[in-house]
């Protein structure tokens, strides 16, 4: 199975600070159809996860554009340009290229 | 409006079988896959398996021997059955629509205890 390694496990930030989360895969996530199915989710405390970014860099409808995704192959990054209070929670990367799909262990974003 | 709603028993005894239902609305099960994901309390997300739009299934390697996913397209429902439950199967179980993990149901909390 594909292993996704997320770093850091915990991130402390002040409001307005820009932060990045890394997600590295044990195998290339480039599908034979040319797409890369690496997505980013946010789980706020007490809530279900929600989709932020799909297919590496595509912003889900309604998600603020301070969120952005980049990367290719095995190395991916989620960036938040100017953290806001509502961004606190746990961020997960998930790959849908290979079966079974797998999640990263999560990165908890806290207020400093 | 796309929605997924999980339902099932909150308490299951050790060694028994868990049966959960995911009822969907706003989309067709013959057009989208549905995935099951679980989360032990205070821990991360674990991919359990999926029902593809064409009826095919795939499972987490670690759970494959205990897990079965099926569907009833006429009722817009996807079912999860997992046998031989143990205390470390306690957690919240979610279903989510495939093609981007969007959206998610509210989850159902399952406790395995005697």
DSSP per-residue letters across A53-106: EETTTEEPTT--TTEEEEEETTEEEEEESS--GGG-EEEEEEE-SSSSPEE---
Interface of A with B in 38-97 (CB under 8 A): 39, 41, 43, 48-51, 54-55, 60, 90, 92, 94, 96
Mean pLDDT computed over B46-63: 96
C-alpha distance from A56 to closest chain B C-alpha (Å): 11
Mean pLDDT computed over B19-28: 98
Buried b (16+ CB within 10 A) or exposed e, B10-22: eebeeeeebebbb
Contact A77, A71 (CB under 8 A): yes
- Nearest chain A residue to B101 by CA distance is A51
Residue of A47, A90, A99 to mutate when probing chain B, most B C-beta within 10 A: A99
Calpha distance B47→B36 (Å, rounded):
7
Calpha distance A40→A106 (Å, rounded):
10
**Could you give the percent of chain A with pLDDT greater than 70?**
100
Asked whether residue A80 carries a pLDDT value surpassing 90, the answer given is: yes
Convert the pLDDT of each residue in B69-90 to its tens digit: 999 999 999 999 999 999 999 9
Calpha distance B70→B81 (Å, rounded):
8
CB contact under 8 A, A103 and B47: yes
Contact A29, A73 (CB under 8 A): yes
**Could you give the percent of chain B with pLDDT greater than 90?**
96
pLDDT given for residue A18 in this prediction: 98
Convert the pLDDT of each residue in A6-42 to its tens digit: 999 999 999 999 999 999 999 999 999 999 999 999 9
Calpha distance B75→B54 (Å, rounded):
16
Beta bridge partners of A5: A24
- DSSP 8-class letter at A98: S
pLDDT given for residue A15 in this prediction: 96
pLDDT given for residue A112 in this prediction: 87
């Amino acid at each position: 199975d594909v292993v996704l390694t997320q770093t850091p496990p915990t991130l402390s930030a002040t409001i307005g600070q820009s932060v990045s989360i890394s997600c590295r895969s044990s195998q290339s996530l480039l599908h034979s159809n040319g797409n890369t199915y690496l997505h980013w989710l946010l789980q706020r405390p007490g809530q279900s996860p929600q989709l932020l970014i799909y297919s590496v860099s595509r912003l889900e409808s309604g998600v603020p554009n301070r969120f952005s995704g980049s990367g290719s192959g095995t190395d991916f990054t989620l960036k938040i340009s100017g953290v806001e209070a509502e961004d606190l929670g746990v961020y997960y990367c998930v790959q849908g290229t290979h079966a079974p799909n797998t999640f990263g262990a999560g990165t908890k974003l806290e207020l400093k | 409006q796309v929605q997924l709603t999980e339902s099932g028993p909150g308490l299951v005894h050790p060694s028994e079988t868990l049966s959960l239902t995911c009822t969907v609305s706003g989309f067709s099960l013959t057009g989208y896959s549905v995935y099951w994901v679980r989360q032990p309390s205070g821990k991360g997300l674990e991919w359990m398996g999926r029902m593809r739009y064409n009826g095919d299934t795939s499972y987490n390697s670690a759970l494959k021997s205990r897990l079965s996913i099926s569907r009833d397209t006429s009722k817009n429902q996807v079912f999860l059955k997992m046998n031989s439950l143990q205390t470390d199967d306690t957690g919240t179980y979610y279903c989510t629509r495939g093609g981007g993990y969007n959206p998610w149901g509210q989850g159902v909390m399952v406790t395995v205890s005697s």
